[in-house]
Each structure stands twice: as C-alpha cells, then as structure tokens.
C-alpha cells in the first residue's frame, strides 16, 4: 500500500475530526476526504472492534453504515453518500480519541503486513461476492448486537474483507471468508 492509502493515515484523519465536545459522522467523513469506498468501509468495521462498541446502539449505527457503503460499492458508485440521519449522529470526542489511540497499533501492524497478493480475489467478478458479504454482515449486525461480542466479531470479519479490497490483498479476503464460515458454524451449532 502506498502512503496515501495507509491505514494509519486513515486512523489519524479520523482523530483530527474530534475537535469539539462531540463529533458527528459528517465530520469524520469530511476529515477522510475523497477516498475509496473500501477505506470508508474499513472505518465503521474497525470502530466496532474498538471500545466504542460498548456505547448503546453504536454497533447498529456501524452496521447501517457498513450496509450502505457495501451497497454503494456493488452499485459501483465513485463517492460516498450516507443519509443525513446517520451523518448527524454524534458521539463524545473523548470516546472517539480513545478509539483512535486504541486503533493506532493495529493500523501500524496491518500496514506492515499487507501486500498485493492473490489479485483475482480483489477484482471482478469475485470482489462482488466480497462486497455482497459485507452488505449482509452490515444488515445482520444490528440483530447481533443483542448477543454479546458477536457484533465485534462480525466487525473484525468485515475489517479483513475491507482491508483486502483496500490493500488489494487476497490473503485478507480469504481470512475474512474463513472467519465468516467459522462464525456461521458456531452460531448454527449454538442454535441447534
């Protein structure tokens, strides 16, 4: 990944959005500027892994964002659109800053280990399967908020798929699908 696409840079830009007492999703989107939709998809999926996931309804908001961003990827849009009701959502800037601090280490690590590998998995037609899986994950995330930790697990899986698309690294696509298969098997075993 080149410097402009580094995950650490994306995380730092999110931190720059936290200027007042509270920060809106609109301020975060504006701080990120014009990026690929995969970068926008990575943000809510990583956020669900952070301490912010303890905020009531935060996983639901992230799931809605993941769903909408994935839908736009499937429609091949070149810029992000989110409904005003999501863009106006605010959270305490201190929580956002804590999440950014928490995400810095993993972001640095991910920047070091990604590379352009297994390219056919991150191009059409296979990338449509990845985008559709992210869309389904975003759709199910609000329901899974009722089961402790499942939203965070799903967020981790979407993070791997988004990272695969952003870094053009098919290894992360494989890991994301393997994790989704594991979660599906675990949930079906529990429900039977």
* Model pLDDT for residues 113-163, shown as the tens digit of each residue: 988 889 898 888 999 999 999 999 999 888 877 776 777 888 889 999 999
> Greater confidence, 109 or 34?
109
pLDDT tens readout for residues 16-31: 888 889 998 888 888 8
Average pLDDT over all residues of the chain? 85
Q: Is residue 90 helix, strand or coil?
A: strand
Q: Is residue 80 helix, strand or coil?
A: coil
pTM: 0.76
Lookup: tokens for 148? 């402790």
The residues near 180 (Cβ < 8 Å, ≥ 6 apart) are 133, 137, 157
The pLDDT value recorded for residue 2 is 40
The pLDDT value recorded for residue 5 is 57
The pLDDT value recorded for residue 6 is 80
The pLDDT value recorded for residue 34 is 66
Lookup: tokens for 85? 């009701």
Return the C-alpha torsion angle 136, 138, 139, 140, nearest 10. 90
pLDDT tens readout for residues 37-76: 888 898 888 888 877 777 778 888 889 999 999 999 999 8
């Amino acid at each position: 990944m080149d410097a402009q696409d580094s995950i650490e840079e994306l995380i730092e830009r999110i931190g720059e959005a936290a200027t007042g007492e509270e920060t809106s999703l609109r301020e975060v989107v504006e701080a990120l500027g014009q990026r690929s939709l995969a970068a926008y998809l990575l943000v809510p999926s990583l956020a669900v892994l952070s301490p912010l996931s303890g905020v009531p309804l935060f996983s639901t908001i992230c799931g809605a964002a993941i769903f909408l961003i994935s839908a736009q990827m499937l429609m091949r849009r070149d810029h992000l659109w989110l409904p005003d009701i999501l863009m106006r959502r605010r959270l305490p800037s201190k929580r956002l800053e804590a999440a950014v601090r928490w995400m810095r280490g993993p972001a640095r690590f991910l920047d070091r280990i990604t590379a352009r590998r297994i390219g056919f998995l991150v191009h059409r037609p296979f990338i449509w399967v990845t985008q559709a899986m992210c869309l389904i994950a975003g759709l199910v995330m609000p329901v899974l908020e009722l089961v402790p930790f499942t939203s965070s697990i799903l967020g981790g899986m979407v993070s791997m798929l988004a990272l695969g698309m952003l870094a053009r690294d098919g290894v992360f696509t494989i890991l994301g699908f393997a994790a989704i298969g594991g979660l599906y098997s675990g949930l079906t075993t529990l429900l039977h």
